[in-house]
Chain A
Amino acid sequence: MIAPPPPPALLMTPQERRRWLLSTWRYAVPMLVSLLLLLLMVMPVPLSVPAMPQLGLMAVLAWALLQPSLMPPWLAFCIGGFADLLFGLPLGVNATAFALITGLMRLMAPLFGRSGLMVDWLMLCLLLLLFAGLVGPLMALAGRPVPLLPLLLQWLTSILSWPLVARFCAAIQRRLAASAPSWRAG
């Protein structure tokens, strides 16, 4: 719980209301972290192979797992739209794929966290593979078919970097939860 739901507005004292307004940025943290990792993806690394992992998508998935109410599929759609603009893709490719994968993650969320980390990782690999398989047809729908092999390479680097991204998001969640304000005084 990184941003507790507020008490009914009419029952708030002015002081409580002020504290609530000053802490609304907490609701935007999952989105901001995802956007930050997207910006990190366009870092000018002198790599000749397309090997930059899908940091933005993985952040979205991690938040869909940790804070489902703060990362609904429509928000993933907006983040994917920003990714399209950032990477110069036809608007809608990443947006649609992000939204679909996040919706799927939402359905699969009860399966996570039960059978150990390796099973979680395996399920995530399948989700990312589905994303890689989804981007090809979506690009073809936009009239720009792409070769599939580089997408698979990116999938490999992505699954290798998932633990890092998941730990990063979980650390942020822990830190925010520790400092979450409570509305009732005393």
Chain B
Amino acid sequence: MDWTPAPRRPTAIRRQQNLALLSAVVSGGVVAGGLILLLLARVNPDTAAGLRRTTADLVAPTWAVLRAPVDGLAALAEGIGDYFGAIDRARHLETELDTANARLRAARAGMEELRRLKALMRVRSPQREVVATARIAAATTGTVVRTAMLAVGTSDGVGEAMPVIGAEGLIGRTTEVGRNAARVLLITDPLSRVPVIVERTGQVGLAAGRNQPTLQLIDLSGATIPLVTGDRVVTSGDGGVYPPGVPVATVVDARAAAPVLRPAARLLGAGFVTVETAWLPVPATEPQGPVFDAPVPVEARRRGAPTPRLRDADAPPISNGTGG
């Protein structure tokens, strides 16, 4: 298979042997280095986050440009497909519109009542705010993760942990954001957990991805009403990232131990997606109040060890409970 001819001069043979030995040593070294990198990633998952951001910055705009002709072809094919069966579709839509209008009239009264009740109770609800609208520029459709890239980044106001919503439903959330690119964790990724509520029964749970086309509904709690196929699942607004009421999925298999859901949106379809601000501000994870230099066990304190010093000089002195 190898087309390179074997060397014939003794010096060339020796040189090739030396190079082969060096290459083997370096290869063993890099494999060991790779394992060390993995251990580093285990201890600190943010290792190389900056490098990943830079790569996304470089790749996402490229694909955003390259995909334009593909999109054009897809739109053309869709247009041809639309041409056939347009009349049937129009009739179907008209009947659907009639029923929807009837339902809307009934709902309008309810909406007004709800608005008045909310005003009466002084309910304050945050507003949804769209930060950016973009197409999915690139996506990993084959590896162990399910992420997509958008060609918008910090220069457009996009930050980390922002919900990404498509026309038909939830797509995912942003994880790593560079200047011109953002990585989106799709809801089908094994790491993704979306707090959801079942519309019909009011049970809350988590829609968990598993790197398959479907999701799983786990940690279901609430009244024990059996789910049926076709139940709609929407975001509940818990956790603060996703705004409530966004369609996530429908139940396709209610009998499994963990009900199986089908996502409402085509995750990598050609449509546009919007990035919104996080529904509620992410709570501060920095510890509040005084911070001690090092914890001193109660037993040691009983024997006369000095009390731990405060790291923050401005913090108010607290009375340490000697005697436990």
Determine whether the beta carbon of B138 is less than 8 Å from that of A72: no
Q: How many residues of B contact A (CB 8 A)?
A: 63
Q: Assess whether B59 is in contact with A39, with CB atoms less than 8 Å apart.
A: yes
Q: List 12 A-B contacts (CB under 8 A).
A: A42-B140, A48-B213, A48-B266, A50-B211, A52-B143, A68-B2, A90-B47, A91-B51, A92-B40, A95-B30, A99-B31, A138-B38
A1 touches B3 (CB 8 A): yes
A183 contacts partner chain B, Cβ-Cβ < 8 Å: no
Find out whether the CB atom of B34 lies under 8 angstroms from the CB atom of A96.
yes
Output the residue of A66, A72, A77, A87 with the most chain B CB within 10 A.
A87
Q: Give, as a whole number of angstroms, the nearest-CB distance from B205 to chain A.
A: 19
Asked if B41 and A142 sit within 8 Å, CB to CB, the answer is: yes
What sequence of 0s and 1s flags, for each residue 21-44 of chain B, a beta carbon within 8 Å of any chain A beta carbon?
A: 001001101110111111111100
B121 beta carbon closer than 8 Å to chain A: no
Q: Is A129 an interface residue (CB 8 A)?
A: no
Q: How far is the CA of A143 from the CA of B41 in the complex (A)?
A: 8
A70-102 with Cβ < 8 A to chain B: 72-74, 77, 80, 82, 84-93, 95-96, 99-100
**Contact between B143 and A87 (Cβ–Cβ < 8 Å)?**
yes
Top 7 A-B residue pairs of the complex, sorted by shortest distance between their CB atoms: A52-B142, A96-B34, A92-B37, A90-B41, A73-B27, A48-B213, A143-B42
A87 engages B269 (CB within 8 Å)? no
CA distance in complex: A71, B26 (Å): 13
Residues in A neighbouring B2, C-beta threshold 8 A: 65-69, 109
Q: Would A146 and B144 count as touching, CB distance under 8 A? A: yes
User: Would you give the shortest CB distance from A18 to chain B, in whole angstroms?
Assistant: 24
Name the residue in A42, A52, A109 with the highest tally of chain B Cβ atoms < 10 Å from its Cβ: A42
A65 partner residues in chain B, CB cutoff 8 A: 1-2
Interface residues of A (CB under 8 A from B): 1-2, 39, 41-54, 65-69, 72-74, 77, 80, 82, 84-93, 95-96, 99-100, 103, 109, 112-113, 135-136, 138-139, 141-144, 146-147, 149-151, 154, 157, 173, 177
Residues of B within 8 A of A87 (CB): 140, 143, 145, 147
Inter-chain contact A41/B142, CB cutoff 8 Å: yes
For chain B, what secondary structure do more than half of its interface residues adopt (helix, strand, loop), or is it mixed? Answer: mixed
Known pairs A1-B5, A86-B59, A91-B47; A141 contacts B140 (CB<8 A): no
Complex: A90 Cα to B145 Cα, angstroms: 10
Given A72-B27, A147-B211: A45 touches B141 (CB 8 Å cut-off):
yes
| A95: nearest chain-B partner, CB-CB | B34
Please measure, in the bound complex, the distance between the C-alpha atom of A173 and the C-alpha atom of B26, giving whole angstroms: 26
